[in-house]
Structure 1
């Protein structure tokens, strides 16, 4: 698929998902592609991740699992795209399907619910944030709930929007589907515990690799967005990336989180509780405020909306430029 077509597909998919999201009626009827991928991963994990196997065998089983889910996602996506493009206005059909692999609208809605919940009570804020983060909500005070929501917004802007859009621009529907398969596998089996340390190794490392360019782009988009948002600081956002991003336990999440923290004058990340265990992490935006509120969540959402608009504009401009060059 020519680059002008994949960029046009990406722009259309971003616009469609931002406007309509994933229809609830469709979700009730057939579920969601990420759910289909998740069921396949769970099935392969039950078959192949044998506790009695040697560590090397479990690692090889994890590599095989990764290869299967890549083939099972890229292949059908590529074939479906090829068939639809042979039909009149088929690009629009592909774009509608591809929009299901993006999360602009749903991310905004979920994070906004945290701000709304905090406005009513701490318990409602905790309940809302528990839907989007893996940490223990009952240990979070109001500032902790707000920080968790903003951190999730920044990280998911990268791996829920920028990354699938980037791989869609590179590989069309199949490329975006393969990315979502890898990202889903990392979230399910990429844990550093006894059961998944070896079996999930390949998925976790490959997820780090495919998210590397998107995380840098997401950070740059947040810096650029800060230029256009009153009260945000692009200079501090860029400074926080240079100083703090490498301190994050993730090789990628630190880029958008540091950019968001620096732009808004906040201190994000740091020590956090997951499953009753304290995870010690570096601070993003060191020296910024830790006493975040629902108002800060709304500031972060405004910055997110501008950064997302810039992403859409990049896709549209790229599609136009490559289309003109092809002519």
Structure 2
């Protein structure tokens, strides 16, 4: 994910936002030409602000892949460069300790000197080859859930059960277009018409999900699946960032009784809340030069709200499935 002025090439003639296509999409697997599944060989690069990257980190944590795939963390603030980039300024000496790079674009250029797209996260780097091998955020969690199974922790949950995959894939596609990417279609729109079209689609889908979650504890039923991870990554940023920064201001998530209870349920689940960094999220969406207002009087002020303490309150959603556990164990 990247944002703001660096997305100018992704604005269509009608003013709507059309996200760039990922270039590095070779799958993980065991077939010839696929990326070998090998513990210690890969490094996952992310920023805590990015919902696409956050969901890969959630799944990595839940499945116990932290010892098999290392993690590099970029700053929530964009460097002051003429291009959109991510910077490893959180690390000692301002470089990733494994890859030795200062900016995300360096590893993309090392991999392909002709690469001209935005250097996006999440991205998987082969540390043996010192090159990008996969930045396919749409399928990455599914690889972690399936072909990376030999390295899952004992009693790891099944987030992508085979008998539900068609339903999960359909949900993921709908959630991506109308919600995950929908907030960006609102925030990056360059015409009133395209903004309102995306806004209406976003809230129509949230209304539908609100109704769905009145009868189901989680999107596919009794257990957390990959779809819940994907929806969570947007919902948890909504009130703190998108509502104001992206003008998605019909309702906050706290105003939806079922979505709000569902969000609290997930937030209180290990792997979700403990990988969520609200300070990073707010700093990025409200202070980064590529998103924040050009008004010099306000762009350096970090909003004090919203009050997020309610995320820790009882969600009382156990009764929707009669069980206290949240995961399907293989």
Q: TM-score, normalised by structure 2?
A: 0.29
Q: TM-score, normalised by structure 1?
A: 0.30
Structure with the higher helix share, 1 or 2: 1
